[in-house]
């Protein structure tokens, strides 16, 4: 049995413990009452609208799904689109001189023009997309330009000769036609709905190894001022694009066509994660005009313009650099007949602001020939308002492939 002394010590210890506990509770109750609330461990922040991913996850949980993880395969998208992507093989006969030895003026004095021209067959490859069961194929102009023979190979093993329906050098697009039955066609998507970060896949025939699929994201949209084409509105992607991919499909994660692979930005000629595709929103309109008219039809004024730099704005007494200065006017052209003169400043077309030469060119090009448009601007410090009748833009001459800025080659894959 416990002695009275041990029992006293235990009671004393218990009393001290209770006293300390009550003291601590008293301090907490009066100094930090928030620690005793039910949700004291939850730190509340100001919450904005639920992100789309969180909403989708909540919807999936409500529907009994365990999770909404990112897909581990895009095979369904590829399976839907790949049959409509074709390989394009072109060939042309090129005449060359037998030897550069006879190009020397000194040698020509003695031997004259004794060269015998040599004819050789050059071949190249690219890709294309079947966009219609009627046999229309969308591709790049540089893939087929100048070709004497064009052969198309389908993914199902069939091959056939193709005819050129028409081409457009200013967007680097072309439409071919083949005569086969039961053609696979691609599903058309909405390139204007693309966002930076969206998943995209490039399908084509790089280096002639056969149909290949690469994967990446949309790195940027609306890329222009690259010096690749006259009219530019590129989708930039890091999906690998290599020589032979030109004219191939850029598709979204649902397998829908949203662009035509066109060029790469590269120091070596290989893919470095910067590729460009023509968005379908641009390609579709050009393709329709080529099918209907054999070429793209655009509006044209017959003027040469330049951007307004700060020094020019100061010399003209302008408060801003928006608008363009008319540097030249083609005699008897639409602008000349409307009364436009060199030195005029155009800042609006049909009430819509014009910020730079590219904006003016794109704006005028959208008007069908024969359309009357209003030009607003400044002449001699005073506003003017003219009406010009748009003519059809002349086709540009064939030109060598252009280069990318800063000496970086713009490869046409």
Catalytic residue annotation: 142, 172, 246
The CA R_g of the chain, rounded to the nearest whole Å, is 34
Instruction: Provide the 8-state DSSP code for 321.
Output: -
- Taking the C-alpha atoms of residue 368 and residue 391, their distance in angstroms, rounded to an integer, is 8
Q: Which sign does the torsion angle of CA 58, 59, 62, 67 carry? A: negative
* Of 184, 247, 242, residue with least CA distance to 209: 242
Token readout for 395 is 């086709």
- Taking the C-alpha atoms of residue 336 and residue 329, their distance in angstroms, rounded to an integer, is 6
End-to-end CA distance of the chain: give it in Å, rounded: 99
- Taking the C-alpha atoms of residue 409 and residue 413, their distance in angstroms, rounded to an integer, is 12
* Of 182, 137, 178, 144, residue with least CA distance to 160: 178
Q: How many CB atoms lie within 10 A of CB 221?
A: 18
Q: Which residue has the tokens 């990446």?
A: 216
- Taking the C-alpha atoms of residue 311 and residue 319, their distance in angstroms, rounded to an integer, is 11
3-state SS, residue 60: helix
- Taking the C-alpha atoms of residue 172 and residue 188, their distance in angstroms, rounded to an integer, is 20
Q: How far, in Å, are 89, 131, 170 from residue 399 at the CA level?
A: 21, 28, 10
């Amino acid at each position: 049995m416990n002695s009275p002394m041990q029992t006293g010590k235990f009671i004393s210890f218990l009393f001290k413990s209770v006293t300390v506990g009550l003291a601590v509770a008293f301090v907490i109750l009066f100094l930090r009452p928030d620690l005793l609330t039910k949700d004291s461990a939850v730190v509340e922040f100001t919450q904005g609208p639920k992100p789309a991913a969180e909403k989708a996850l909540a919807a999936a949980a409500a529907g009994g799904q365990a999770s909404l993880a990112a897909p581990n395969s895009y095979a369904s998208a590829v399976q839907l689109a790949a049959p409509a992507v074709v390989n394009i093989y072109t060939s042309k006969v090129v005449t060359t001189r037998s030897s550069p030895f006879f190009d020397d003026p000194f040698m020509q004095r003695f031997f004259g023009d004794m060269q015998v021209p040599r004819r050789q067959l050059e071949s190249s490859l690219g890709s294309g997309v079947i966009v219609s069961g009627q046999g229309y194929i969308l591709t790049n102009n540089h893939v087929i330009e100048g070709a004497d023979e064009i052969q198309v190979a389908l993914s199902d093993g069939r091959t056939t000769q193709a005819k050129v329906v028409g081409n457009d050098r200013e967007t680097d697009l072309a439409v071919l036609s083949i005569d086969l039955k039961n053609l696979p066609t691609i599903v058309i998507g909405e390139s204007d709905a693309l966002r930076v970060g969206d998943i995209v896949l490039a399908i084509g025939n790089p280096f002639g190894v056969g149909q290949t699929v690469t994967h990446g994201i949309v790195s940027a949209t609306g890329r222009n001022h690259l010096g690749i084409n006259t009219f530019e509105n590129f989708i930039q992607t890091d999906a690998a694009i290599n020589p032979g991919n030109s004219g191939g499909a850029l598709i979204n994660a649902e397998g829908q066509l949203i662009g035509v692979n066109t060029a790469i930005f590269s120091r070596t000629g290989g893919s470095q994660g910067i590729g460009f595709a023509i968005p379908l929103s641009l390609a579709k309109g050009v393709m329709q005009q080529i099918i209907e008219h054999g070429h793209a039809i655009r509006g044209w004024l017959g003027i040469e313009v330049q951007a307004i730099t700060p020094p020019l704005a100061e010399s003209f007494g302008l408060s801003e650099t928006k608008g363009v200065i008319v540097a030249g006017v083609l005699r008897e052209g639409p602008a000349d007949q409307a009364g436009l003169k060199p030195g005029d400043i155009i800042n609006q077309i049909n009430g819509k602001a014009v910020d730079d030469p590219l904006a003016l060119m794109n704006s005028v090009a959208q008007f069908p020939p024969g359309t009357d448009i209003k030009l607003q601007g400044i002449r001699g410090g005073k506003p003017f308002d003219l009406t010009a009748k748009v003519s059809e833009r002349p086709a540009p001459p064939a030109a060598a492939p252009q280069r990318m800025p800063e000496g970086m080659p713009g490869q046409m894959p």
